[in-house]
Chains A and B, each alone.
Chain A
Amino acid sequence: MKSTFTFLLFCIVLAVCLLFSLPIKKYTNYHYDERQEIIRGKANKYANYTLIIFLAVYFIYDLFFGDKFITLSASVLAFTGILLSVCIFLIYSVWNSAFLQVNQHGTGIFVLYGFIALLNIGVFILNYKNTTFPIENGVLQFTNSLSQLFCGIIFGSVSITYFIKRITDKMEG
């Protein structure tokens, strides 16, 4: 019952987000220029490679050490793969100024991302003592605190990359 309610809530939130994002796209003239599109294509490629390499490395680990050490459940494996590839995509895009669209000012957005990262990591740290990463039969299971940590890492890495990039740009003049 609870999971059905959560799923319904997720669908409603997704529908509302789509409903509001489509008109915004229509009425703003934000777009990526040709260099940004090339950079984002490269970022996509590197993100795909990252996912493939991660899965290959994990496959070899599981093959040789799976019965000796801890392995990941399917959901943790998927979530970690997504985290790694999304991080690579975002960091590469932000570092090459291809994350924000033309005429879009980003400091506010990245401050917000930093705040979201701090909130997520803060909640994770606050709950750290109560947090247990359930390992059943040597398999690490997915938990809420793990998702908070991962979200914190994604938003934090994007925000930090942006501000480091700004500082290096200013130093270069």
Chain B
Amino acid sequence: MKNLRLKSARAAKDLSQEDLAKLCDVSRQTISAIEKGDYNPTIKLCIAICKALDKTLDDLFWDESL
């Protein structure tokens, strides 16, 4: 399932996938895979992404429907 909240949070910060990848010390393709829903990140990477985007885990990764 696509993570549109991550995509919109990134866009709101005016960051490209490349920029966010550099902030989290991962490859651009990894950020792309998370946004597409092709890869489930570890909690460590989730926290790094949340810190980079000033969001909480609930804001970006908690899914009520599951």
Contact = CB atoms under 8 A, between A and B. Distances in A.
Interface of A: 33-36, 96-97, 100, 102-103
Interface residues of B, number: 13
Interface of B: 21-22, 25-27, 29-30, 33, 39, 41-42, 44-45
B22 A33 contact: no
Contacts of A103: 22, 27
Contacts of A34: 26, 30, 41-42, 44-45
A103 B18 CA distance: 9
B25 A35 contact: no
B22 A35 contact: no
Contacts of B45: 33-34
A33 B29 CA distance: 10
Nearest to B18: A103
A128 to B, nearest CB: 40
A59 B39 CA distance: 39
Contacts of B22: 103
26 contacts: A33-B25, A33-B26, A33-B27, A33-B30, A33-B45, A34-B26, A34-B30, A34-B42, A34-B44, A35-B26, A35-B27, A35-B30, A35-B33, A35-B39, A36-B27, A36-B30, A96-B29, A97-B27, A97-B29, A100-B27, A102-B21, A102-B25, A102-B26, A102-B27, A103-B22, A103-B27
